[in-house]
A = this chain, B = another copy of it.
Amino acid sequence: MESNVHKISCPDCRLSDLCLPYGLQQNEVKQLATIVKNKRPTQTDEYLYLQGDAGQNLYAVKSGSFRSFISDANGNEQTIGFYLPGELMGLDALQHGFFTCSIVALETSMVCELPLSRLNELCAEIPGLQNQMLRILGKEIASDHDKILLLGHRSAKERVATFLLMLSRRYASLGFSSTEFNLSMRRQDIANFLGLTIETVSRQFTELSKDGVITVKQRSIQINDMASLKATVKPCLPDQLSFIA
């Protein structure tokens, strides 16, 4: 039943290996589950939290997807990243207890709410949980470094190709197809994330299509020639941009 989706708890969650419970023992996962609050579904374009809000919680994506962004005084936005199931949002609030970016749902989505105070207590009790927190934080930092590399030194075509490979890899680790998927974000979101305009993104999609590398139909993407796509983003060592591996 649909209503049960809300209530699936960590020990039964198919995402547990991608999320905080990874590496924990069964009873430890149960302990973790006791502090998790399930929230009602978040609708498309609904904000999970806003930049500047007090950050008392972390949020794990249970289903759907989200976009994080920083906005400036003029209302201009810079998209910082996209979050898929199993990924943790709100880590930037660990610094001072305030979120430095806003999060909006790209589709109807579910999150698990993790109160930071309880999580801290639990980290002290469960060494494996503390380690997993550090691993996740390290991953976030490494992934942000990849984004800096992407924005600093890559052409429009490389950026678009990298973006697709990044998604492909994350869908694969969720057990979905790595070659066929639907984008949950608009062209505008992709463009903004990649530091490009929507026109440029659109043109790159068109070019990759004409070359037969991908098939694009609105939000649906099919990767026909993974090797070519990867070759587009060379010259990067495979294990550098973690998402190309």
Contacts and interface: CB of A to CB of B under 8 A. Distances in A.
Contact of A195 (B51, B74, B152): B152
A48 to B, nearest CB: 16
Which of A51, A124, A240 has the most chain B CB atoms closer than 10 A to its own CB?
A240
Contacts of A193: 152
A127 B70 CA distance: 31
A227 interface: no
Contacts of A130: 120, 123-124, 130
29 contacts: A52-B239, A70-B145, A73-B235, A78-B148, A80-B145, A91-B138, A92-B138, A92-B141, A92-B142, A94-B134, A94-B135, A94-B138, A95-B138, A95-B139, A95-B142, A100-B242, A101-B145, A120-B127, A120-B131, A124-B127, A134-B137, A141-B141, A141-B144, A144-B144, A144-B147, A151-B195, A152-B192, A152-B194, A152-B195
A70 B149 contact: yes
Given A78-B149, A141-B141, A72 B195 contact: no
A210 interface: no
Given A124-B127, A240-B72, A240-B100, A141 B152 contact: no
A168 B51 CA distance: 25
B147 A234 contact: no
Contacts of A194: 152
A236 interface: yes
A93 interface: yes
Report which residue of A80, A127, A131, A134 has the largest number of chain B beta carbons within 10 angstroms of its beta carbon. A134
